[in-house]
Amino acid sequence: MKDPVIFTTKAFGAQTKSSPLAATTIERRTPTPHDVQIEILYCGVCHSDLHTVRDEWGGTVYPCVPGHEIVGRVTKVGSDVTKFKPGDIAAVGCMVDSCRSCPSCREGLEQFCEAGMIQTYNSPDKYSGGVTYGGYSENIVVSEDFVLRVPENLELAAVAPLLCAGITTYSPLRHWKVGKGQKVGIVGLGGLGHMGVKFASAFGAHVVLFTTSPGKTKDALRLGAHEVVISKNPDEMKKHLNSFDFILDAVSADHDINAYLELLKRDGTLTLIGAPQKPLGASAFNLIFKRRQFAGSLIGGIAETQEMLDFCGQHGITSDIEMIKIDQINEAYERMLKSDVKYRFVIDMASLKK
Ligand code: NAP
Ligand code: ZN
Ligand code: ZN
């Protein structure tokens, strides 16, 4: 393979785990025959960006340029690209490549690639020899197989969060066949949680939202929840003992998982999508006595991400967003830590050019 030519692009990133994000430059490759170059218009802000920038999960390589909820306009395509042409609107989520040949990749579950998926940021980059850099930047270059089409009827800035928060909630709700006649809990009304409420309610389930923020009750009902429970109130929690078919836990910090396991009925499932730093201590008795299942789920494959976007186009579903400029990102992280996001920050990337 001929080495691609490198170009410089503006970005916003962190130089160490304790430094704030600031303007920087990174290098991108010009498109190889199967690549699409995208000018980034909007990038959503995921709590995983914060976990990674601050090295809360370990393994962050600096400089770190996060961002994996990307919507933009195609500016260049490689000679063999068939799905996109310059001028098209396109999107990129949490992955930019995988081995494409292992059993998981062949099943369209690239997120579980046995050789390790290549994430949009902080993954080994086979072209540069360094790590991948994400969407807090002017441009990104991605293999067309990992680029998504965006339904034309949706507002672009509000589509960006679908690329992570959307697919991460859509995929488990589909996998565990959530639908009519089921009582479903969503824990935490943040970026992921609010999309979980929208999808579970679109799939026809009876949706109960658990929150630590009483001020979010009205919004939760507007977003599609049928009931809201303030999880800090044990009496309110007790009313729901042994009653849920399925619970999706989207909490970013340490919390008492047993308070939710005991709300599942026999054979019910609690699926974690939140990724707190510390292990959660599930009580054996909460699982064995009612044959309950405690599971996890990771984003979704490329085909399912496209299916989710098309579903959103058909049903007019997008994220509820608060638009920010790139120089407000550090403040946005602090607000995210205080659960003060309604319900996803999206960066207007035009603010990076100034
Ligand atoms: P977010 O917008 O910050 O939302 C997290 C929500 O959790 C908060 O809004 C809050 O909701 C609740 N919460 C926060 N601290 C809490 C605490 N100490 N106790 C109880 N509840 C608390 O974050 P996000 O972007 O949705 O991400 C959520 C988690 O999912 C993160 O850990 C992220 O890394 C992870 N994630 C996983 C995947 C995956 O593939 N599995 C993909 C993306 C993100 P209330 O105010 O309603 O209580
Ligand atoms: Zn994410
Ligand atoms: Zn693979």
Atom of ligand 1 nearest to the CA of 216: 47
Query: What SS3 class is residue 345?
Result: strand
Q: Is 212 in the pocket of ligand 1 (CB under 6 A)?
A: yes
Q: Is 301 in the pocket of ligand 1 (CB under 6 A)?
A: no
User: pLDDT tens digit string along 223-239?
Assistant: 999 999 999 999 999 99
- Please give the distance, rounded to the nearest whole angstrom, from the Cα atom of residue 158 to the centre of ligand 1: 19
Query: What SS3 class is residue 205?
Result: coil
Q: Is 188 in the pocket of ligand 1 (CB under 6 A)?
A: yes
Specify the residue with its C-alpha closest to ligand 1, atom 17: 253
Specify the residue with its C-alpha closest to ligand 1, atom 23: 47
- Please give the distance, rounded to the nearest whole angstrom, from the Cα atom of residue 141 to the centre of ligand 2: 19
**Residue 90, C-beta contacts closer than 8 angstroms, at least 6 positions apart:** 36, 38, 71, 72, 73, 74, 84, 147, 148, 149, 150
- Please give the distance, rounded to the nearest whole angstrom, from the Cα atom of residue 299 to the centre of ligand 2: 8
| Domain spans, the chain | 6-164+320-352, 165-296
Alpha-carbon distance of 213 to 215, in angstroms, equals 5
Helix (H) or strand (E) holding 313: helix 302-315
Alpha-carbon distance of 163 to 134, in angstroms, equals 13
User: pLDDT tens digit string along 176-201?
Assistant: 999 999 999 999 999 999 999 999 99
CA 88 to chain centre: 23
- Please give the distance, rounded to the nearest whole angstrom, from the Cα atom of residue 106 to the centre of ligand 3: 7
Contact yes or no for 211/189 (Cβ under 8 A): yes
- Please give the distance, rounded to the nearest whole angstrom, from the Cα atom of residue 105 to the centre of ligand 3: 4
Q: Is 216 in the pocket of ligand 1 (CB under 6 A)?
A: yes
Q: Nearest CA to 162 among 324, 352, 300?
A: 300
> What pLDDT, on a 0 to 100 scale, did the predictor assign at position 105?
98
Q: 2 pLDDT band (50/70/90 cuts)?
A: low
CB atoms under 10 Å from CB of 116, counted, come to 12
Q: Is 51 in the pocket of ligand 1 (CB under 6 A)?
A: yes
Give the pLDDT mean for 48-69. 98
Name the residue of 94, 251, 319 whose CB sits within 8 Å of the most ligand 1 atoms, as the mutation to test its pocket: 251
> What pLDDT, on a 0 to 100 scale, did the predictor assign at position 322?
98
State yes or no: pLDDT of 217 exceeds 80.
Answer: yes
Specify the residue with its C-alpha closest to ligand 1, atom 35: 274
The model carries a pTM of: 0.98
User: pLDDT tens digit string along 296-330?
Assistant: 999 999 999 999 999 999 999 999 999 999 999 99
CATH topology of domain 6-164+320-352: Quinone Oxidoreductase; Chain A, domain 1 (3.90.180)
Atom of ligand 1 nearest to the CA of 255: 19
State yes or no: pLDDT of 55 exceeds 90.
Answer: yes
34-50 burial, b if ≥16 CB within 10 A, otherwise e? ebbbbbbbbbbbbbbbb
The two three-digit tokens of residue 155, written as one number: 């507002």
Alpha-carbon distance of 135 to 40, in angstroms, equals 7
- Please give the distance, rounded to the nearest whole angstrom, from the Cα atom of residue 200 to the centre of ligand 3: 30
**Residue 69, C-beta contacts closer than 8 angstroms, at least 6 positions apart:** 43, 44, 45, 46, 93, 135, 160, 161, 162, 163, 164, 165, 344, 346
Give the pLDDT mean for 278-288. 96
User: pLDDT tens digit string along 242-261?
Assistant: 999 999 999 999 999 999 99
Q: Which ligand is nearest to the CA of 321?
A: 1
Q: Using a pLDDT cut of 70, give the percent of the chain over it.
A: 99
CATH topology of domain 165-296: Rossmann fold (3.40.50)
Q: 353 pLDDT band (50/70/90 cuts)?
A: confident
DSSP state of 165: H
- Please give the distance, rounded to the nearest whole angstrom, from the Cα atom of residue 272 to the centre of ligand 2: 14
> What pLDDT, on a 0 to 100 scale, did the predictor assign at position 5?
87
Q: 43 pLDDT band (50/70/90 cuts)?
A: very high
Q: Is 221 in the pocket of ligand 1 (CB under 6 A)?
A: no
Q: Nearest CA to 312 among 95, 162, 157, 90?
A: 162
State yes or no: pLDDT of 1 exceeds 70.
Answer: no
User: pLDDT tens digit string along 91-147?
Assistant: 999 999 999 999 999 999 999 999 999 999 999 999 999 999 999 999 999 999 999
- Please give the distance, rounded to the nearest whole angstrom, from the Cα atom of residue 161 to the centre of ligand 2: 8
